[in-house]
Amino acid sequence: MPELPEVETTRRGVAPYVEGEQVDELLVRESRLRWPVPADLPQLLRGQRVLSVSRRAKYLLFHTAAGTLLVHLGMSGSLRVLRQPIPAAGPHDHIDLRLSSGDCLRFNDPRRFGCFLWSEPGETHPLLAHLGPEPLSDSFDGLLLHRLSRGRRGPVKNFIMDGRIVVGVGNIYANEALYLAGIRPDRSAGRISLARYERLSDYIKQVLTSAIEQGGTTLRDFVGGDGKPGYFAQQLHVYGRAGLACKTCGGVLREQRLAQRSTVYCVTCQR
């Protein structure tokens, strides 16, 4: 599933080709996504100029004077910019956003877990209403994590992956940040000190920023390519390395399942 850095790279990849352009047509070939595409969405968008493209959590927001188009890539979705002549659609090319420039923004989603939804001006869509702060914003820090964790007995990894606490800390980045902060992922969230949460919040920002920066090398893939940045080549410390040696102490990395997600850690370096 695309995580926050992949979605942010998608935003950066498509925004230069979409912002300032008028929507000539929204062509919906398949409306049965995770939530049905609103029947009136093509009419709402036709003739509207895309003022800006932003991101909230893992949602892409295409802002117009008439309202905002919400796009989620789901588990396997992608967006790519197509230039003239526009190639014929494939079996999973469900939606085309055709622009006044002649370019086309095409949405491909084999599993159909993505979404194309709409919100009126000044309205907060229900899917965005209860989300926590952005992890790279000033409103996210160790003090927030410490305050919200009090009384919580569940694992800290589950806690920081809860979108109501902070958005966009996916499985890869949670594993890595906890390792760098020296915190065992199965430790009770409510038993971690403020000082350790301050360290954890700093590393969450660090690993996400690093992934986004590396995404800059994949921006060309959104024009004529497959629109999929993938997971950026990183020097991962623990994720996907169960049974291998810890890069710090040389001990064997262990794996367990937390909330049905693979969790890898070092029993020596993390406590």
Reply yes or no on whether 191 is catalytic.
Answer: no
174 and 223 fall within a common domain: yes
162 and 230 fall within a common domain: yes
pTM of the model: 0.90
Asked if residue 137 is part of any domain, the answer here is no
Catalytic residue among 46, 247, 254, 261: 261
Instruction: Give the domain extent around 72.
Output: 4-119
Q: What digits encode the pLDDT tens for the residues 238-254?
A: 999 999 999 999 999 99
Point out the domain boundary residue: 60, 84, 119.
119
Catalytic residue among 3, 6, 8, 21: 3
97 and 17 fall within a common domain: yes
The pLDDT of residue 222 is above 70: no
pLDDT at 30: 97
Reply yes or no on whether 255 is catalytic.
Answer: no
Domain count for the chain: 2
Point out the domain boundary residue: 119, 153, 175.
119
**pLDDT class of 268 with cuts at 50, 70, 90:** very high
pLDDT at 215: 73
Asked if residue 252 is part of any domain, the answer here is yes
Reply yes or no on whether 6 is catalytic.
Answer: no
How confident is the model over 171-178, as a mean pLDDT?
94
Q: Say which CATH number the domain at 26 has.
A: 3.20.190.10
Residue 152 assigned ligand-binding role: yes
Asked if residue 32 is part of any domain, the answer here is yes
Residue 111 assigned ligand-binding role: yes
The pLDDT of residue 96 is above 90: yes
How confident is the model over 154-165, as a mean pLDDT?
98
Point out the domain boundary residue: 104, 119, 134.
119
233 and 154 fall within a common domain: yes
* β-pair type (93-99, 261-265): unpaired
- φ/ψ region of 78 (left if φ > 0, alpha if ψ in -120 to 50, else beta) reads beta
148 and 98 fall within a common domain: no
Handedness of CA 119, 124, 125, 128 (dihedral sign): positive
Asked if residue 18 is part of any domain, the answer here is yes
Asked if residue 10 is part of any domain, the answer here is yes
Task: Compute the radius of gyration of the chain from its Cα atoms.
Answer: 20
The pLDDT of residue 217 is above 60: no
The pLDDT of residue 176 is above 90: yes
Catalytic residue among 56, 58, 157, 228: 58
What's the mean pLDDT when you consider all of the chain? Answer: 93
151 and 260 fall within a common domain: yes
Asked if residue 99 is part of any domain, the answer here is yes
Asked if residue 131 is part of any domain, the answer here is no
156 and 74 fall within a common domain: no
How confident is the model over 126-131, as a mean pLDDT?
96
How confident is the model over 157-175, as a mean pLDDT?
96
Reply yes or no on whether 58 is catalytic.
Answer: yes
Residue 92 assigned ligand-binding role: yes
Q: Say which CATH number the domain at 164 has.
A: 1.10.8.50
Asked if residue 132 is part of any domain, the answer here is no
